[in-house]
Amino acid sequence: MAKKISISTILTIIITAISYYFVLPPLNFFSPLFWGFIGGILVVFFMCYLLTASVVNSKKYLGTKTNPLIASDDRLLTVVLAILGILLVVFLIGGLIGTPLFSSGKYASTLKVEESTFEKEIIESTQITDIALMDSDSAAILGNRTMGSLTELVSQFEVSETYSQIDYNGSPAKVAPLEYAGFFKWLGNKDNGIPGYVYVDPVNNTSKYVELKESIEYSPSALFGKNLKRKLRFEYPTAIFDECYFEIDNDGTPFWICPVLKRNAGLFGATTVKACVTLNASTGDSSYYELDEIPEWVDIVFNGERLEEQYDWYGMYSDGFWNSVFGNKGCKVTTDDFGYKVIDNDVYIYTGVTSVNGDESNIGFLLINSRTSECKYFPVAGAEEYSAMSAAEGEVQNLGYEASFPSLINVCGEPTYIMVLKDDGGLVKQYALVNVKQYNIVACATTQAEVLSKYKTLLAEGDIISEIVPEIVTKSETITVEDINFISIDGNTIVYIQTKDNKYYKQNFKDNETLITVKSGDTLKITYDEEYINDEIISLMTATKTGDNQ
């Protein structure tokens, strides 16, 4: 029997070591993967022992009719099966205890929610030229186009599908690393590493490739010792990691941000984040931070899906599990999607809150800090996000644009959805503002500045605000036309004017059809919002020929 145990143990150790290298389970009782791995080890030992016993017994019963496998009546097999049974029972009981049925209070307490006032917390937007509204799909389109122009790189690398929303030195940005484009591309480039990443400006809708001084050595697309998950697992064998995110610090150094999870109920229930590991993507140096120690440049520790899930637990189970099943008193959940909002150098998750009845209206909305999970609830009733998106799409239905998930801003004290409108190719074409309380009030324009001006006009005309809308400070001057062009953009004719001193102005032709009579050499008296005097192309409010030209 000792011989059979020794051989089986050696085979099991070899198979376990190989499996651990590739499966990489956390050595933690609160991970389902760990329980599956332990169960797998016992099954492997069981099978190895049966196989060894069969080989040993085949010699003993050679020439007889006895089956050598059946002849093995060792009590060790009974012990192994008993251990498997006990593990299964503990697994099931631990999992059951961790369900909301038995631990609803622990689920509800994973997120602390503070009620706040919209007008107090959300500063009024006097201009909206710096709001990042681009979603990851549009960022990916820009990033892939940038990558496509880099002929030396495009054959060896590809842009990651995951774009991280970050704040980079006070400016919103989306970043995504390059990845090895398959095994053979890794084999040919592993010594030099990944040379850079794609940086997308979600305000100006531009992207660029950033080449690093020190290449990225550790990546999810790398293999063996340079693989990110393997690097983390060998350094932190007991940690349960969430999805890792690519970010850059204030100096542009690439990092992987890897949240560490904990369970608050039973073995696997009420999951939240307890810490974070930052790993330098170039050097492999890593640091472990508790939640209150995480550096301020780190942006994504709690992802949007997890924060929405935690608020849903709070909204559903604050009054107990059975209330969530039958009474539904006070039960509320987040809407199906979320957006990002950058406030004071921090990235926040924005989403609406609706009742469980699903009546297509919001009873409030949330702003949740994605680094600290600080959550503020604003009881503002109105249209839910998808109704507002449909209202904006209806304004440009002839163009077939699709609205992105909106963000929320304060315009003259009015809660207002702001979103981008994209064409079939996913590129941003227009901006839209929709009033939360009355979503039939919609303004669309090609620039954020122009859409804000139109929206304020609609508020004033509809008597939506009790206070008088502050007058726009206008700038007036006389210009001499050097060149004038009429350009059709998505069904709208935009008039572009160049002056003698190489300044540029534009106006929508339908707002001023008299521009058809303007030619080179004419002088115009123009007015525009003084707030945008430093724009490269200034949007005109009025443009009229002077007396000398008429």
Q: Look at 15-29, 98-112, 156-170, 245-259 and tell me which has the smallest mean pLDDT.
A: 156-170
pLDDT above 90 covers a percentage of the chain that reads: 48
Stretch 450-478: mean pLDDT:
76
Domain-located, residue 28: yes
**Both 43 and 180 in a single domain?**
no
How far apart are the C-alpha atoms of 151 and 101, rounded to whole Å? 57
> 460 versus 26: which is more confidently predicted?
26
Stretch 440-448: mean pLDDT:
87
**Both 93 and 200 in a single domain?**
no
**Both 195 and 289 in a single domain?**
yes
How far apart are the C-alpha atoms of 315 and 194, rounded to whole Å? 44
Residue owning tokens 């050499």 = 521
**Both 53 and 166 in a single domain?**
no
**Both 411 and 536 in a single domain?**
no
Domain-located, residue 355: no
Q: Which of residues 301, 329, 357 is at a domain's end?
A: 301
> 274 versus 550: which is more confidently predicted?
274
Going by pLDDT thresholds of 50, 70 and 90, the confidence category of residue 100 is very high
Count up the domains in the chain and report the number. Answer: 4
Domain-located, residue 238: yes
End-to-end CA distance of the chain: 111
Flag whether pLDDT at 78 surpasses 90: no
**Both 169 and 293 in a single domain?**
yes
**Both 452 and 518 in a single domain?**
no
Stretch 35-42: mean pLDDT:
93
Stretch 519-529: mean pLDDT:
88
**Both 448 and 481 in a single domain?**
no
Res 224: pLDDT: 94
Flag whether pLDDT at 244 surpasses 60: yes
Res 97: pLDDT: 94
Res 71: pLDDT: 46
HEC assignment per residue over 7-75? HHHHHHHHHHHHHHHHHCCCCCCCCHHHHHHHHHHHHHHHHHHHHHHHHHHHHHCCCCCCCCCCCCCCH
Q: Look at 68-77, 213-222, 353-362, 485-494 and tell me which has the smallest mean pLDDT.
A: 68-77
Q: Which of residues 429, 461, 493 is at a domain's end?
A: 461
> 397 versus 488: which is more confidently predicted?
397
**Both 147 and 294 in a single domain?**
yes
Q: Look at 373-377, 464-468, 469-473, 476-480 and tell me which has the smallest mean pLDDT.
A: 469-473
Res 498: pLDDT: 92
**Both 74 and 152 in a single domain?**
no
Domain-located, residue 266: yes
**Both 145 and 207 in a single domain?**
yes
Domain-located, residue 456: yes
How far apart are the C-alpha atoms of 74 and 5, rounded to whole Å? 11
Domain at 541, CATH number = 2.40.50.140
Res 330: pLDDT: 86
Q: Which residue type occupies 278?
A: T
Residues in the chain, overall count: 550
Flag whether pLDDT at 67 surpasses 60: no
> 531 versus 279: which is more confidently predicted?
279
pLDDT in tens, 11-27: 999 999 999 999 999 99
Domain-located, residue 371: no
Stretch 359-368: mean pLDDT:
85
Distance of CA 85 to the CA centre of its chain: 41
Most confident of 71-75, 99-103, 155-159, 335-339: 99-103
Residue 235: CB partners within 8 Å, gap ≥ 6?
A: 286
Q: Look at 126-135, 330-339, 507-516 and tell me which has the smallest mean pLDDT.
A: 126-135
What's the whole-number average pLDDT of the chain? 87
Domain-located, residue 379: no
Q: Which of residues 281, 301, 321 is at a domain's end?
A: 301
**Both 148 and 247 in a single domain?**
yes
pLDDT in tens, 375-419: 999 998 888 888 899 999 999 888 889 998 888 888 888 889 998
Stretch 511-531: mean pLDDT:
86
pLDDT in tens, 311-327: 999 999 999 999 998 88
> 536 versus 356: which is more confidently predicted?
356
Please answer whether residues 398 and 491 qualify as being in contact, where contact means their C-beta atoms are separated by less than 8 angstroms: yes
Q: Is 282 helix (H, G, I), strand (E, B) or coil?
A: coil
Res 229: pLDDT: 97
Rg, the chain, Cα only: 31
> 464 versus 142: which is more confidently predicted?
142
Residue 484's domain comprises 474-545
Res 26: pLDDT: 96
Stretch 258-278: mean pLDDT:
96
Tell me phi and psi for residue 280, to 5 degrees: -65, 120
Flag whether pLDDT at 53 surpasses 50: yes
Please answer whether residues 420 and 134 qualify as being in contact, where contact means their C-beta atoms are separated by less than 8 angstroms: yes
Res 509: pLDDT: 86
Flag whether pLDDT at 446 surpasses 70: yes
Flag whether pLDDT at 293 surpasses 50: yes
List, in sequence order, every beta strand (DSSP E) within 160-235.
164-168, 171-180, 194-201, 206-216
Going by pLDDT thresholds of 50, 70 and 90, the confidence category of residue 534 is low
pTM of the predicted protein model: 0.80
Domain-located, residue 223: yes
